[in-house]
């Protein structure tokens, strides 16, 4: 199973690497931004269309 | 000509000459401000409809409901704190390119927030609102249906509905006499800025303060039993709730700190931006955990606080005084340490306004129609005096006025506290904003309003001097016992119904219901006095019903809704362990907002003159014409329009009636009391209520027909009915006491941009303001855009996207308001000074 910790968008927390942030670049019709959402490192990423292998 | 082509065809000087201030702003502001201003998704509804691309945020409703269900064993405040903490820990956050300040209440920039715990009637609207359901729509609708099913019957308003007097409930919710719902779920909240924004403490300090109170309480609850320790059990749980939400807030800021650092270290290549991102990171590690040390941290502290408060409740106003509370940091950074240049500081000031402009939460249709084009009435208070009465204006006051002209947002706007010691430099800045067509700042007479605040509620004068605009108009202190944590102005009266009901024996022909008391068949009235007494009875009934309902809503709010975060940043709650929405510890600062007020005086004067004095018509004939909505009686209607005296012309005949009406209201305002035992004075103003109520108010004796827009509000004369110039308007409006006859009085004036051009224009305006102040008026606001520009904007809206007008207690982009409201603004008399 592909998991979040294998992805370039996953940034583990320093004090607890089992969780981290999924950080993605978004460009919408008005602005560009980076977004972040907490994820566990073992979260299944096999269906994630933003997954990018490290 | 396309928008871009129109802009490029002229240089800066030509745009200035043509008074196309929106193009001037675009060519003058920094690249950063230009990017950030254009990056904002417009959240205000246009003519009641949301812009394409605006979507309901589902992350908060899902996360909140998830945690709410999980913690069903906890009491209200603790359960709510845990639910919001769960949201703050898990919601998506974002940082916009070029931004220096961060924080938004939705998961993405184009989302608007939804509070499913507030009201089922709103939830149904959210579900059925076309275009705002996020993609994939089918999946989202399923989630929304599940959320609605869960909250059905359990929201704050559902619960309140079960305890209200059923008759009061039906009449209140009929939609024809009131505006708003009596819960802190939808409204606004003042803040105890004297506690939280004076740089003395951060959230970590408050957590420590609470530790002390909890330790002391726990010792007592382990000691000798007695009635005094019984309330402590609940208080300990409330303190726990406050600590949970404060800790979650600190962690929320740290998430931004982490994101900024990740972007800087992994994605960004521009060294300058990398440095900015590291500064954002450092800022978010400092605040709100600890007190701010510089201007950026001070703004960020405030913005986190405002954002966090809006994760808890829909706050559609932002009572604040940013120049006063952030001014010392501006002075330190720009003037003393020279850490920032004026231009760099101006970028921060402009962005602070843009962050507020970005705010968006779902507003039900009733609210969207009454508040067209914006998502709230963020009237930021500027200027004024210090607690000792000295001038409080500072360099940041000036910077805000300059930034306003650069970013040109319709929300927030400013209200300026004028007093005799304001320096001319500052007055010129105010005038420049008005001349640039922003419609703000509104001008407020500080000495009058401080006196008024002391008179109506007994606030100590030093506290009264801290006042901010609680919403559009009403002053409220920012102190421990003075600030108001909930919108008590849900006691908003559609006053045109007072005269309508006096002429219909209390029966409402629009909703086909006996609304007001039976005050007698008007056809049988033998003289004006009988009509006037019927009007007084209807007025008292309406004020009473609204105030009763809101008072009960306030008392039940800690149980039905609750504000753990707001409590945690309020000294009286931190100290007492009581939810801040409880009236305990609050002095009281309530007012009844009077929409559609002036129609009463004009209508009473018309009946007095044409029916009772001149006997040109009988009461029977007039009532018959009104019942027919004037249809078939056009000649008679025009007689009532043209030959009856109208307010705003310095005509004692009608002005005396207005004063008498206001004094009846003021007298009654001392009898009806808020939960703190304080008074409920009236405050005449509209937002866009004059348009919203157009189809709900029947024909009136001032010649208005069902469907016609009502007057634009406050004590402003009817559009086009003030025929004797601006001085006559001021004289009419100064015939009553702006301290004792009510809370505040909105006055709209339209000025000619041609006449007010250049230095001569400033001198004319200064002379007008001098007269205004000498006459003891408390408010005036100006539209300074000519008819040609407004009509051009109607025919070619694409070219005038950034044209701003003053609607009522708020400003809006002209193209975002309904055609009816646009016409209503154009109809207002342009006065020559």
pLDDT digits (tens, 9 = 90+) for B406-462: 999 999 999 999 999 999 999 999 999 999 999 999 999 999 999 999 999 999 999
| Closest-CA residue to B152 (of B59, B58, B65) | B65
Out of A21, A30, A31, the one facing B259 most closely (by C-beta) is A21
Within a 10 A sphere around the Cβ of B663, how many other Cβ atoms? 15
Mutate to test the interface with B, among A15, A36, A54 (most CBs of B within 10 A): A36
Q: What is the mean pLDDT of residues B176-191?
A: 93
Per-residue pLDDT tens for B500-519? Answer: 999 999 999 999 999 999 99
Asked whether the predicted pLDDT for residue B4 surpasses 60, the reply is no
Mean residue pLDDT across chain B = 95
- Between residues 108 and 167 of chain B, which touch chain A (CB distance below 8 Å)? 108-110
| Amino acid B7: pLDDT | 55
Q: Are the beta carbons of A31 and B95 separated by less than 8 Å? A: no
Within a 10 A sphere around the Cβ of B121, how many other Cβ atoms? 15
**Placement of tokens 């201030």 in the chain:** B21
Instruction: Band the pLDDT of B2: cuts 50, 70, 90.
Output: very low
* Closest residue on chain A to B264 (Cα): A34
A15 touches chain B (CB under 8 A): no
Is residue B533 within a helix (H) or strand (E), and if so which, with residue range? Answer: helix B528-560
Q: Are the beta carbons of A21 and B108 separated by less than 8 Å? A: no
User: Any idea what DSSP says for residue B609?
Assistant: I
Per-residue pLDDT tens for B15-61? Answer: 988 888 999 999 999 999 999 999 999 999 887 789 999 999 999 99
Cα end-to-end span (Å), chain B: 35
Q: Residues of B with CB below 8 A from A7's CB?
A: none
Cα–Cα distance measured from residue B154 to residue B150, given in angstroms and rounded to the nearest whole number: 8
Asked whether the predicted pLDDT for residue B5 surpasses 80, the reply is no
Out of A13, A29, A34, the one facing B267 most closely (by C-beta) is A34
| Amino acid B9: pLDDT | 63
Out of A29, A31, A34, the one facing B263 most closely (by C-beta) is A34
Residues B654/B702, Cβ–Cβ less than 8 Å = no
Q: What is the mean pLDDT of residues B772-795?
A: 92
Q: Are the beta carbons of A31 and B92 separated by less than 8 Å? A: no
Per-residue pLDDT tens for B208-264? Answer: 999 999 999 999 999 999 999 999 999 999 999 999 999 999 999 999 999 999 999
Instruction: Band the pLDDT of B481: cuts 50, 70, 90.
Output: very high
Please state which of the ranges B518-527, B698-707, B779-788 shows the lowest mean pLDDT: B779-788
| Amino acid B426: pLDDT | 98
Within a 10 A sphere around the Cβ of B628, how many other Cβ atoms? 11
Cα–Cα distance measured from residue B609 to residue B605, given in angstroms and rounded to the nearest whole number: 6
B258 touches chain A (CB under 8 A): yes
Our CA-based measurement puts residue A54 at a distance from the nearest CA of chain B, in whole angstroms, of 13
Residue B206, C-beta contacts closer than 8 angstroms, at least 6 positions apart = B242, B246, B568, B569, B574
Instruction: Band the pLDDT of B737: cuts 50, 70, 90.
Output: very high
Our CA-based measurement puts residue A38 at a distance from the nearest CA of chain B, in whole angstroms, of 6
B97 touches chain A (CB under 8 A): yes
Q: Are the beta carbons of B95 and A29 separated by less than 8 Å? A: no
Q: Residues of A with CB below 8 A from B90's CB?
A: 37-38
Q: Are the beta carbons of B259 and A34 separated by less than 8 Å? A: yes
Mutate to test the interface with A, among B53, B97, B102, B256 (most CBs of A within 10 A): B97
Per-residue pLDDT tens for A3-51? Answer: 999 999 999 999 999 999 999 999 999 999 999 999 999 999 999 999 9
Q: Are the beta carbons of A36 and B97 separated by less than 8 Å? A: no
Per-residue pLDDT tens for B282-335? Answer: 999 999 999 999 999 999 999 999 999 999 999 999 999 999 999 999 999 999
Q: What is the mean pLDDT of residues B710-720?
A: 91
| Amino acid B820: pLDDT | 81
Rounding to the nearest 10 degrees, give the CA dihedral for residues B632, B633, B635, B640: -150
Q: What is the mean pLDDT of residues B576-594?
A: 97
Asked whether the predicted pLDDT for residue B388 surpasses 90, the reply is yes
Cα–Cα distance measured from residue B576 to residue B558, given in angstroms and rounded to the nearest whole number: 14
Bridge partners of B683? B593
Burial tier of B5 (Cβ tally within 10 Å: 0-12, 13-18, 19+): exposed
Q: What is the mean pLDDT of residues B356-378?
A: 87
Q: What is the mean pLDDT of residues B452-477?
A: 97
* Closest residue on chain A to B53 (Cα): A29
* Closest residue on chain A to B90 (Cα): A38
Q: Are the beta carbons of B94 and A34 separated by less than 8 Å? A: yes
A21 touches chain B (CB under 8 A): yes
* Closest residue on chain A to B259 (Cα): A36
Our CA-based measurement puts residue B495 at a distance from the nearest CA of chain A, in whole angstroms, of 42
Cα–Cα distance measured from residue B351 to residue B672, given in angstroms and rounded to the nearest whole number: 43
Burial B297-319 (b: 16+ CB within 10 A, else e): bbbbbbbbbbbbbbbbbbbbbbb
Asked whether the predicted pLDDT for residue B795 surpasses 50, the reply is yes
Bridge partners of B172? none
pTM (2 decimals)? 0.96
Per-residue pLDDT tens for B89-128? Answer: 999 999 999 999 999 999 999 999 999 999 999 999 999 9
Burial tier of B524 (Cβ tally within 10 Å: 0-12, 13-18, 19+): exposed
Out of A23, A33, A36, the one facing B96 most closely (by C-beta) is A33
* Closest residue on chain A to B261 (Cα): A11
- DSSP character string of B634-649: HHHHHHHHHSS--TTS
Q: Residues of B with CB below 8 A from A38's CB?
A: 89-90, 255
Q: Are the beta carbons of A31 and B39 separated by less than 8 Å? A: yes
B51 touches chain A (CB under 8 A): no
Q: What is the mean pLDDT of residues B577-604?
A: 97
Q: What is the mean pLDDT of residues B695-712?
A: 95
Q: Residues of A with CB below 8 A from B40's CB?
A: 30
Asked whether the predicted pLDDT for residue B136 surpasses 70, the reply is yes
B43 touches chain A (CB under 8 A): no
| Amino acid B8: pLDDT | 54
Out of B97, B258, B266, the one facing A33 most closely (by C-beta) is B97
Helix-strand-coil split of chain B, %, nearest 5: 50, 10, 40
| Amino acid B261: pLDDT | 98
Could you give the residue ranges of the DSSP H alpha helices within B18-75?
21-28, 31-39, 59-70
Angle (deg, nearest 10), helices B395-407 and B424-435: 10
B94 touches chain A (CB under 8 A): yes
| Amino acid B601: pLDDT | 98
Q: Are the beta carbons of B263 and A11 separated by less than 8 Å? A: no
Asked whether the predicted pLDDT for residue B189 surpasses 50, the reply is yes
Mutate to test the interface with B, among A20, A30, A38, A50 (most CBs of B within 10 A): A30
3-state secondary structure of A11: strand
- Phi then psi for B625, rounded to 5 degrees? -65, -40
Question: What is the share, in percent, of chain B residues with pLDDT greater than 90?
Answer: 86
Cα–Cα distance measured from residue B527 to residue B215, given in angstroms and rounded to the nearest whole number: 70
**Residue B98 region, left (φ>0) first, then alpha (ψ -120 to 50), else beta?**
left
Instruction: Band the pLDDT of B6: cuts 50, 70, 90.
Output: low
* Closest residue on chain A to B97 (Cα): A33
Compute the count of residue pairs across chains A and B with CB atoms less than 8 Å apart: 63
Our CA-based measurement puts residue A33 at a distance from the nearest CA of chain B, in whole angstroms, of 4
Asked whether the predicted pLDDT for residue B743 surpasses 90, the reply is yes
Residues B608/B615, Cβ–Cβ less than 8 Å = no
- Phi then psi for A10, rounded to 5 degrees? -90, 125
Per-residue pLDDT tens for B304-317? Answer: 999 999 999 999 99
| B826 or B354, which is more confident | B354
């Amino acid at each position: 199973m592909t998991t979040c910790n294998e992805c370039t968008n996953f940034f583990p927390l320093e004090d607890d690497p089992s969780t981290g942030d999924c950080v993605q670049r978004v460009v919408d019709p008005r602005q560009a931004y980076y977004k972040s959402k907490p994820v566990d490192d073992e979260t299944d990423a096999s269906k994630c269309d933003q997954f990018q292998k490290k | 000509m396309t928008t871009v082509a129109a802009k490029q065809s002229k240089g800066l000087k030509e745009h200035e000459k043509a008074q196309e201030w929106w193009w001037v702003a675009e060519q003058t502001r920094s690249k950063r401000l230009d990017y950030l201003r254009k990056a904002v998704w417009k959240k205000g509804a246009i003519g009641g409809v949301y812009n394409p691309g605006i979507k309901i945020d589902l992350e908060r409703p899902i996360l909140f409901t998830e945690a709410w269900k999980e913690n069903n064993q906890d009491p209200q405040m603790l359960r709510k704190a845990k639910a919001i903490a769960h949201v703050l820990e898990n919601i998506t956050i974002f940082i916009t390119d070029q931004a220096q300040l961060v924080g938004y209440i939705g998961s993405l920039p184009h989302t608007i927030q939804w509070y499913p715990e507030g009201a089922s009637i709103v939830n149904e609207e959210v579900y059925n609102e076309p275009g705002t359901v996020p993609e994939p729509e089918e999946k989202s609708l399923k989630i929304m249906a599940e959320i609605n099913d869960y909250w059905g019957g359990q929201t704050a308003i559902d619960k309140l509905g079960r305890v209200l007097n059923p008759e009061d409930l039906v009449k209140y919710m009929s939609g024809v006499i009131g505006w708003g719902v009596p819960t802190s779920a939808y409204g606004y909240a003042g803040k105890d800025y004297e506690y939280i924004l004076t740089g003395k403490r951060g959230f970590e300090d408050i957590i420590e303060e609470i530790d002390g109170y909890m330790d002391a309480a726990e010792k007592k609850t382990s000691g000798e039993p007695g009635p005094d320790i019984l309330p402590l059990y609940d208080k300990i749980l409330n303190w726990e709730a406050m600590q949970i939400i404060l800790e979650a807030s600190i962690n929320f800021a740290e998430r931004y700190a982490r994101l900024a650092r990740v972007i800087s270290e992994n994605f960004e290549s521009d060294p300058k931006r990398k440095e900015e991102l590291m500064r954002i990171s450092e800022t978010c590690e400092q605040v709100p955990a600890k007190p701010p040390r510089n201007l950026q941290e001070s703004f960020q502290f405030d913005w986190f606080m405002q954002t966090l408060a809006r994760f808890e409740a829909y706050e559609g106003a932002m009572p604040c005084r940013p120049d006063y509370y952030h001014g010392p940091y501006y002075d330190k950074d720009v003037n003393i340490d020279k850490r920032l240049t004026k231009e760099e500081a101006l970028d921060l000031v402009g962005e602070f306004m843009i962050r507020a402009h970005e705010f968006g939460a779902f507003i039900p249709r009733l609210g969207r129609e009454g508040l067209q084009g914006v998502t709230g009435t963020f009237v930021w208070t500027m200027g004024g005096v210090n607690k000792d009465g000295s001038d409080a204006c500072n360099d940041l006051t000036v910077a805000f006025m300059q930034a306003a002209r650069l970013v040109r947002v319709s929300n927030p706007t400013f209200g300026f506290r004028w007093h005799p010691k304001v320096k001319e430099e500052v007055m010129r800045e105010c005038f420049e904003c008005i001349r640039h067509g922003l419609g703000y700042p509104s001008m407020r007479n500080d000495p009058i309003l401080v006196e008024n605040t002391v008179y109506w509620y007994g606030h100590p004068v030093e506290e009264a001097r801290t006042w901010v605009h609680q919403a559009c108009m009403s002053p409220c202190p920012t102190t421990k016992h003075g600030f108001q944590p909930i919108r008590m102005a849900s006691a908003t009266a559609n006053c045109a119904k007072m005269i309508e009901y006096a002429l219909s024996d209390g029966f409402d022909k629009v909703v086909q219901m006996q609304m007001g008391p039976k005050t007698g068949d008007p056809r049988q009235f033998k003289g004006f006095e009988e009509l006037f007494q019927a009007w007084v009875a209807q007025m008292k009934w309406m004020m009473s019903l609204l105030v009763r309902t809101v008072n009960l809503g306030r008392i039940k709010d800690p149980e039905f809704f609750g504000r753990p975060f707001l409590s945690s940043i309020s000294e009286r709650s931190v100290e007492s362990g009581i939810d801040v929405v409880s009236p305990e510890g609050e002095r009281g600062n309530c007012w009844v907002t009077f929409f559609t007020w002036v129609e009463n005086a004009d209508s009473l004067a018309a009946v007095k003159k044409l029916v009772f004095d001149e006997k040109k018509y009988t009461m029977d004939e007039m009532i018959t014409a009104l019942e027919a909505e004037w249809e078939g009686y056009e000649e008679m209607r025009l007689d009532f329009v043209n030959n009856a005296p109208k307010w705003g012309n310095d005509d004692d005949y009608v002005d005396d009636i207005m004063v008498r009406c206001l004094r009846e209201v003021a007298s009654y305002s001392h009898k009806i009391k808020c939960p703190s035992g304080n008074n409920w004075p009236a405050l005449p103003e509209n937002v866009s209520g004059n348009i919203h109520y157009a189809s709900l108010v029947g024909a009136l004796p001032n010649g208005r027909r069902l469907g016609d827009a009502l007057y634009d509000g406050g004590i402003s004369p009817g559009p086009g009915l003030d025929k004797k110039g601006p001085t006559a308007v001021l004289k009419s409006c100064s015939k009553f006491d702006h301290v004792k006859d009510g809370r505040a009085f909105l006055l709209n004036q339209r000025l000619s941009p041609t006449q007010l051009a250049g230095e001569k224009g400033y001198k004319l305006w200064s002379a007008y303001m001098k007269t205004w102040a000498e006459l003891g008026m408390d408010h005036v606001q100006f539209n300074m855009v000519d008819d040609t520009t407004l009509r051009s904007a109607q025919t070619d809206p694409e070219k005038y996207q950034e044209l701003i007008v003053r609607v009522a207690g708020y400003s809006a982009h002209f193209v975002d308001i309904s055609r009816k409201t646009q016409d209503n603004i154009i109809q207002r008399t342009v006065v020559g000074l």
